[in-house]
Every structure is written in C-alpha cells, then in structure tokens.
C-alpha cells in the first residue's frame, strides 16, 4: 500500500462506521423475534375472565387467531384498544390474555371501552405470560389453526402494523387453512 493510499484509511473506517450507525438508527432493539415462533402455543388452563369456567389451549386453537396480551395498568393497551375493536368488528377473532391484572379492574375496562375479545384468559400470576415469553404488555401473537405461534408483535397494534405486517400473514395463514 502506497503512502498516499494509506491516507484514505481513516476515511474508509469512518465510512464503515457511519454505515453501521446509520443502519442502527432504523433498528429497534425491542423488536426481537419471539423464541416461540413456529413453536406450539404453550398448554394452559386458566380462569376465563368474568365467567365461572376455565379456558384452556383447546378452546383457543382451531382457527387462525390473534392472542393479545393486555392489562389495565398498561397505558399503551388503552391506545391500542380502539383498533382491536375495529379488527373485531371486521370479524377477526381475538383472544385476550389479561396479564397480571385485577379481574374487577379488567371487567370495568371492558365495560367502559368495549370488548373486542372472543374470550379473555385471566393470567393473574403471569404464568401463561412466562411460558409465552411475554416481557411487557401489549404483545400480540398470531396463532395458526394448528395452534402454532407464527408471529409476535411487541407494542401497539395499529392500522400501519396491521396492514404491513399482521394482515398479510393472517390472510396467508387463513388461505393455507382453507386449502387444507
């Protein structure tokens, strides 16, 4: 390497570093793929919120569904709630996991804000949340008809997230389920 060329070494290093940092701007470290992707939904049998019965994995599995982890203490869940209602009104089956919450608070929330859920799993101790690898609400899981977790979205599901990420997958899974 000639002495002239050597002068460019810092520039090249800078360019490489800048490229990495620039790429880093768009990366969200919280967006981690779930460890359970392509794994079966964990087994559970927990009380059904507001009902005097238990709800288990078999009640949820059978069609393509969304599993939404929420709680009344979760501020973003309140932001997300109206959009879940929109999805439910369009006929998307959504099951709720009421995560580490108080039943009475949760029922009041559903009373006041509307209930987009087919049913709610009362995960008071967070045991299902633990098996799912939940680390904060809201989280939304896309579960296929065979009960396999296909996608996990961390954070609020809004129109953009639904249209760009969840809906295409949801459609694809439904088409797959129909053809079988």
Q: Residue holding tokens 């701007």?
A: 25
Q: How far is the CB of 159 from other proteins (least distance, A)?
A: 26
Measured CA to CA, the distance from residue 152 to residue 16 in angstroms comes to: 32
Q: How far is the CB of 136 from other proteins (least distance, A)?
A: 5
Compare residues 67 and 87 and give the one whose CB is closer to other proteins. 67
Site of interaction with other proteins (CB under 8 A)? 29-30, 32-36, 100, 126, 130-136
Compare residues 131 and 167 and give the one whose CB is closer to other proteins. 131
Compare residues 89 and 125 and give the one whose CB is closer to other proteins. 125
Which stretch of DSSP H or E encloses residue 172? helix 167-179
> Which pair of tokens denotes residue 158?
């809004």
Q: How far is the CB of 146 from other proteins (least distance, A)?
A: 20
Instruction: Classify 46 as helix, strand or coil.
Output: strand
Compare residues 42 and 50 and give the one whose CB is closer to other proteins. 42
Q: How far is the CB of 29 from other proteins (least distance, A)?
A: 6
Q: How far is the CB of 35 from other proteins (least distance, A)?
A: 4
Spell out where 38-93 has E strands: 45-47, 54-56, 65-70
Compare residues 41 and 64 and give the one whose CB is closer to other proteins. 41
CB distance 149 to 128 below 8 Å: no
Q: How many CA atoms lie within 13 A of 38 on its CB side?
A: 1
Give, as one character, the DSSP assignment of residue 9. Answer: H
CB distance 95 to 67 below 8 Å: yes
């Amino acid at each position: 390497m000639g002495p002239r060329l050597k002068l460019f070494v810092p520039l090249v290093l800078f360019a490489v570093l800048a490229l990495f940092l620039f790429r880093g701007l768009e990366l969200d470290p919280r967006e981690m793929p779930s460890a359970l992707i392509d794994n079966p939904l964990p087994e559970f049998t927990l009380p059904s919120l507001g009902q005097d019965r238990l709800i288990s994995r078999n009640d949820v599995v059978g069609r393509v569904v969304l599993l939404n982890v929420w709680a009344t203490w979760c501020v973003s869940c309140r932001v997300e709630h109206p959009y879940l209602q929109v999805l439910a009104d369009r006929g998307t089956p959504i099951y709720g996991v009421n995560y580490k919450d108080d039943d009475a608070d949760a029922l009041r929330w559903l009373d006041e804000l509307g209930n987009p859920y087919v049913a709610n799993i009362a995960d008071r101790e967070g045991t299902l949340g633990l098996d799912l690898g939940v680390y904060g609400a809201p989280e939304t899981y896309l579960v296929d008809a065979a009960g396999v977790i296909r996608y996990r979205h961390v954070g609020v599901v809004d129109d953009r997230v639904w249209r760009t990420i969840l809906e295409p997958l949801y459609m694809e899974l439904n088409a797959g389920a129909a053809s079988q």
